[in-house]
Chain A
Amino acid sequence: MAESVLIRTDNLKVQFPSKTGPVTAVEDISFSVRPGEIVCIVGESGSGKSVTSFSLMQLVKFNGGMISGGAITLHRRDGTTVDLRNASEDQMRGIRGNEIGMIFQEPMTALNPAFTVGWQMAEGLRIHMGLNRVQADRRSLELLRMVRISEPENRLRQYPHELSGGMRQRVMIAMALACKPHLLIADEPTTALDVTVQAEILGLIDLLREETGAAILLITHDMAVVAQMADRVVVMFRGRKVEEGPVRRILSEPQHEYTKALLAAVPKLGDMSQKPNPEPLKIVGERYRGPAKPLIAGKRQLLTVSGLVKRFPVRGGLFGRTTANVHAVENVSFGINDNETLALVGESGSGKSVTGRSILRLEEPDSGKVEFENRNVLALDSTEMRDLRRNMQMVFQDPFGSLNPHKQLFDQVAEPIRNFRLDHGSALEDRVANLFDRVHLPRSFLRRYPVELSGGQRQRVAIARALAPNPKFIVADEAVSALDVSVQAQVLNLMLELQADLGISYLFISHDVAVVERVAHRVAVMYLGRIVEIGSRQDVLENPQHGYTKTLIAAVPTLDPDADVRGRVKTLSKVPSAIFPAGYEPEPPEYDEISNGHYVLKNEKQ
């Protein structure tokens, strides 16, 4: 078995036509997958990893691409081999979904919203295996049980929008496995999912490999996913394969500079275990500067949040009355000192972003108190609030959306300076130029438009803009989540550098525990609108007390290939939610103080 090969590409080249001539997306890609093996293709955006995976079944042509070189050899079920590059559309249809199954990144949009789950699952079975409706339904049920979905009979009749993200991805997997393919291609199958759900799905994929014997080609940007899943790894960079090998060798002795850089840029949970203060990441190729001075948090309380509540009404009934409330933020209290970073960590729907936005009053909280330098923020009128925004700034998650596409970068960064009339004329120009220096952007960018920049560059502009009025406090709402890991490391280092030089406090909102460990002095874990645990970073991450904190930390994939992934598979049923009937008032949270400043929620909501 070990010597046989299921699918092999040789010198694969894919191009996309453009009016200025064909643009080469990937070139000279050769790798193979053996039966029953998990091969990971890893790379950042623009590496061509997805194009490669889409080429195997000629799917790339539906995106306008063409396979212009190389060969893709598939060993078929019947023992023959076929070159998928030159296979006819008829031949391909018999292979797609039948001998090769595929799952995609976006479980929210990869299922057709207009058809039931059962219909979509049955479609492939009817096309490839000629089953009638009853037989197809029976097989679909079997498949849904295999991917451990609760109440599979009901699921068949449901539409995709009625399922959670994790359930949809399970349906996708079931659909891809419907005709017992020998190869499953998974394109970033867990990227859009919460980390606890990701752990379950990865565990499930691993389990199914054993149960079905299918080989798996897993495309990912996440080195930790690679470490957990792969037998062998193909590393891609800018359309080419830079390295290939067994997972242990790639992780322990990477050969290529890029692989080394990529591995170094990944924040690893546990790296900071003996260090009380945040430290920049080491970036390969840059001289390691080390902490210029230790990032020690101040002692003066800058911001105090107490009893913050924000609920969103769910309307229904005849007259659009509020029938229920989403308790997005439920009685949240914390403080931040000067020169300190507090990380709010939690999964989607935990209320961490709403908390950050409520502090800046981009969202009007329902009740609670926010004090900034002893001023009651929630009681300020709109003029006073505007003034206060000089000192409280925000960096948003989406660097593509947070800049106005029609304005030059100079004007965008100058905006707060003009708003507060801090400088004008040549002083303004100097100030903006200095800000560009500050975030390591060339001054030639001043007259450019956002569309001309990469994601990382845009996020630097957004940071420069937030710095412009010399704020004391910045809310960073998932500020590095949309960035590639190597870019993420640079932006994180920039934020730490600015804190060391300017003494800024951050409220660092993130879903990524490993990143949080790198930057935070203190950590607050949010779950369904509440802080379940808060304390110093070392206390919370190294000595977690609350059940949810433990689950969250356990779910973080590590670079250790020996970690157990299957233990996390469980049957997915109801997703817990923070929706309560109108008028429901949960009891106020009570906390146990485990040690100095380390609090754990005592009473659960339900």
Chain B
Amino acid sequence: MAYLIKRIVNSAIILFLTVSFVFFAGRLIGDPALNMLGPGASDVALENLRRAAGLNDPILIQYFRYVVNLLSGDFGISYRYGFSVLPSERLSEIGQPVIDIVLERLPATFFLAAAAMGFAVPIGVFMGVTAAAYPRSAADRIVTVLSLAGVSIVQFWLGLMLIVFFAVQLGWLPTGGYGEWQHVILPALTLAARPIGRIAQVTRSAVLEELAKPYIMTAHAKGVPVNRVVYLHSLKNAAIPIVTMIGDELSALLTGAILVEKIFAWPGIGLLIIDSLSRSDLPLIQASIVVVAALVVCVNLLVDLAYRLLNPRIRFGKTEA
């Protein structure tokens, strides 16, 4: 319990630092007002906007305001979405709050990540356990090379190749888009390649390590069937590194889906980030990064909770020796 509180406090600090980083780095780009209104804006319009948005205040005051607003869920107003050159006082009435835009995109990203992990976890774990059960066999070698290939491939390139083959040549699946079940298959496969490889590698080495431990011989001596020894006795002990890897890869999917979403025109948060970067929509970029960072922190916390369930030694207390 104490450990959990410590973890949550740590996560809060990380998020706070992210927010600070995003805020100050954003200011490095140049005058936010000019950025917002575009190079054609008149001096009067710029000055009005600055006054309305408090951009003339000292930077620390602005920073403080930004943080306070974030805490109440206000991430600012998008420069581009639902906004045209307007009198700046009315900015907040017309412009769309960025948090709404971001939250609208989240489900698509979640769906894609879940689909990719749905492919990756069972395949990766199965490959890893098979390789570990027969070390140095042909199956082991194949799994090793396949899993290394999975982590060596460039995701967006794999996506393009799949499009060429399955969508353009064979015409079985759409080249991109969102809505039908057919749309998710190619992007999810593309995203699954790397996690399959990494989960297989970690599973292989963790299970191999467990299989060399004395309790495995105890299980054999009890007359436990071999498959049960491998898939139950060893895998449960090997679960912690595997779950860690799954968590890592899930985080990577939430952020690394950027390119795949772009290639398949998948309307998730990754595509949103690319769009807002190309439009220099600073508040939107900032909000996306903070939200994704928060998601990653949540995944890490969940992984931590999973440890507690999986390892009785952690569950019952002592965190440090």
Contact = CB atoms under 8 A, between A and B. Distances in A.
A102 interface: yes
Contacts of B308: none
A368 to B, nearest CB: 24
B313 A110 contact: no
Nearest to B310: A114
B223 A128 contact: yes
A120 to B, nearest CB: 8
Q: Mostly helix, strand, loop or mixed at chain A's interface? A: mixed
A106 B224 contact: no
Contacts of A104: 214, 217-218, 221
A124 B233 CA distance: 13
Contact of A96 (B6, B213, B223): B223
Interface string A193-217: 0000000000000000000000000
B310 A127 contact: no
Contacts of A16: none
Nearest to B240: A114
A172 B222 CA distance: 11
A62 B213 CA distance: 11
B2 A318 contact: yes
Contacts of A114: 233, 236-237, 239, 310-312
A127 B313 contact: no
Given A57-B221, A89-B226, A317 B214 contact: no
A315 interface: yes
Interface in B281-321: 310-313, 316-318, 320
Nearest to B236: A114
A82 interface: no
Contact of B233 (A54, A62, A112): A112
A62 B222 contact: no
B49 to A, nearest CB: 47
A320 interface: yes
B170 interface: no
Contacts of A316: 2, 317-318
Highest count of chain B CB atoms <10 Å: which of A54, A57, A62, A102: A62
B312 to A, nearest CB: 4
Interface in B95-148: none
A95 interface: yes
A375 to B, nearest CB: 34
A159 interface: yes
B2 A112 contact: no
A184 to B, nearest CB: 11
A317 B213 CA distance: 33
Contacts of B215: 109-113
B3 to A, nearest CB: 9
B82 interface: no
Given A89-B226, A127-B222, A315-B320, A113 B313 contact: yes
Contacts of A124: 222-224
Nearest to A108: B214
B237 A97 contact: no
Contact of B218 (A110, A116, A315): A110
A127 B223 contact: yes
A94 interface: yes
A319 to B, nearest CB: 8
Contacts of A115: 233, 236
A593 interface: no
Contacts of B313: 113, 159, 161
Contact of B222 (A63, A109, A161, A175): A175
A97 B223 contact: yes
Nearest to B211: A62
B51 interface: no
Contact of A62 (B6, B216, B225, B317): B216
A315 B317 CA distance: 11
Given A114-B236, A114-B310, A102 B221 contact: yes
Nearest to B135: A64
A113 B312 contact: yes
Contact of B220 (A62, A111, A128): A62
A387 interface: no
A133 interface: no
B176 to A, nearest CB: 44
Given A110-B215, A159-B316, A162-B316, A95 B223 contact: yes
Interface in A63-104: 63, 89, 92-98, 101-102, 104
Interface in B1-51: 2, 5-6
B214 A110 contact: yes
Given A93-B225, A318-B5, A159 B218 contact: no
B151 interface: no
B70 interface: no
Nearest to A175: B222
Nearest to B312: A159
B219 interface: yes
A543 B233 CA distance: 51
Contacts of A92: 223
A296 B176 CA distance: 91
A96 B214 contact: no
Nearest to B311: A114
Nearest to A101: B221
Nearest to A128: B223
Nearest to B226: A89
A315 B224 CA distance: 40
A175 B222 CA distance: 8
Interface string B222-250: 11111000000100110100000000000
Contacts of B214: 104-106, 109-110
A320 B317 CA distance: 12
Nearest to B313: A161
A302 interface: no
Nearest to B317: A316
Nearest to B229: A62
A101 B221 CA distance: 7
A446 interface: no
A482 interface: no
A123 interface: yes
A127 B224 contact: yes
Contacts of A159: 312-313, 316
A128 B221 CA distance: 12
B293 to A, nearest CB: 26
Contacts of A176: 221
A317 B1 CA distance: 9
A428 interface: no
Interface string A147-187: 00000000000010110000000001001100000000000
Contact of A59 (B220, B225, B236, B310): B220
Contacts of B310: 114
Contacts of B312: 113-114, 116, 159, 161
Highest count of chain A CB atoms <10 Å: which of B6, B217, B233: B217
Contacts of B225: 93, 127
Highest count of chain A CB atoms <10 Å: which of B214, B221, B233, B312: B221
Contact of A320 (B221, B224, B316, B320): B320
Given A114-B312, A318-B5, 16 more contacts: A62-B217, A95-B223, A96-B222, A97-B221, A98-B223, A104-B217, A104-B221, A109-B213, A109-B215, A110-B214, A113-B312, A115-B236, A124-B224, A159-B316, A162-B316, A316-B317
Interface of B: 2, 5-6, 213-226, 233, 236-237, 239, 310-313, 316-318, 320
6 closest Cβ contacts across the A-B interface?
A97-B222, A96-B223, A97-B223, A102-B221, A159-B312, A124-B222
18 contacts: A62-B216, A63-B217, A97-B224, A112-B215, A112-B219, A112-B233, A113-B215, A114-B312, A115-B236, A123-B222, A123-B224, A124-B224, A127-B223, A127-B224, A159-B313, A159-B316, A316-B2, A316-B317
